[in-house]
Structure 1
Amino acid sequence: MKTTIIMKKIFPKLLILMLAASNSFAQKTVAEQEVIQLSKQKWEWMADKNVNKLTPLFDDKAVFVHMGGSWGKTQEINVIKSGGIHYKKADIHEVSVNIMDNTAILLNKITLLAVVGGNEVTNPFIVTEVYIKRDNDWKLGSLSFTKLITPGQ
């Protein structure tokens, strides 16, 4: 009888303690949070065509891979500035980041509303972003779009 009473009192407390401990392991590091926040800001700057914020973020050797081709920083800035691609809204469904030394690889599962060549389009993508930390600043080294076959993937 005493064992049952003790288990009824201790088990719920032990369960709460275990859940709290598992949540602490799932929390992001400061660096991971920085990269996730920077990625979110990047999508906003791209939607706003804010090349003044994007230019210093993009590394001079950055590469951009799109459905229609790949190019470097200068062309990406020009495409954004001219409206050749207007990244109107990126709905972010999932995000993960892995940091190895001074390199962060961020994966976003998004639905992108964009205007491409004057046509409004919506596409589901997995976007791979590679950031390199230099002089305490994260620089975007690569941005690659992989179109998903169906939005639920």
Structure 2
Amino acid sequence: MRFKLIGLIVLLSWGQYSFAQDTDAKREIIQLSKDKWQWMSDKNVDELSKLFHQKAEFVHMGGHWGTEQELAIIKSGGIWYKKADIHEVSVNIIDNTAILLNRIDLLAVVGRNEVTNPFEVTEVYIKQDGKWMLGALSFTRLMTPGDH
């Protein structure tokens, strides 16, 4: 009986430790995402190049491309992610992968046109060598009243 009680205490302690780690990782991912939106707004390709995995994929309304092209587009102002108003955030961690979902209104300048669109944004982060890196960023435009 005593061994079962000790085992139960160890198991519960481990569960709390694991939950705390998961919560800390979720907070870290949420902060990384917020930082990413700010760096995109600031066109800070130096910080973004540290965050974006070399093989990352970016899916937009107009197509998809890799890290090098995304950084070039941000740097040139081809797409200026002016401001992301974040309404909802959720994070799911599976092993060394974190999937973050953002519901946002994005104010952007595309070409010479300033536009605001509601998006569900999927961000996939991969943990390598103890560091989270963005592996995929995908925009899904949400329907709004009046859209057909």
Which TM class, normalised by the smaller chain length?
0.7 to 0.9
The corresponding residue for 1:58 is 52
Q: Which amino acid aligns with 1:63?
A: E
Partners of 1:50 and 1:56 in 2: CA distance: 11
- State the shift of 1:63 in Å: 0.2
1:74 corresponding residue in structure 2 = 68
List runs of 5+ in structure 2 lacking aligned partners.
1-18
64, 76, 87: which one aligns with 2:81: 87
Distance in structure 1 (CA, Å) of the matches to 2:54 and 2:47: 14
What amino acid is the match of 1:146? Answer: T
Aligned partner of 1:35 among 20, 29, 39: 29
After superposition, give the CA deviation of every residue in 1:50-73 in whole Å (9 maximum; x if it has no partner). 000000100010000000000000
Report the more deviating stretch, 123-132 or 28-37.
28-37
Cα deviation for residue 150 of structure 1 reads: 0.9
Normalised TM-score (structure 1)? 0.80
1:148 aligns with one of 117, 124, 142? 142
Structure 2 counterpart of 1:107, one-letter code: L
Find runs of 4+ consecutive structure 1 residues off by over 2 angstroms: none
| Letter of the structure 2 residue corresponding to residue 72 of structure 1 | G
Say yes or no: does 1:115 pair with 2:109.
yes
The answer to whether 1:96 aligns with 2:90 is: yes
SS of 1:149's partner is coil
Say yes or no: does 1:135 pair with 2:105.
no
Provide the aligned length of Structure 1 versus Structure 2: 125
TM-score by structure 2 length? 0.83
CA distance in structure 1 between the partners assigned to 2:112 and 2:80 by the alignment: 9
RMSD: 1.2
% identity of equivalent residues:
73
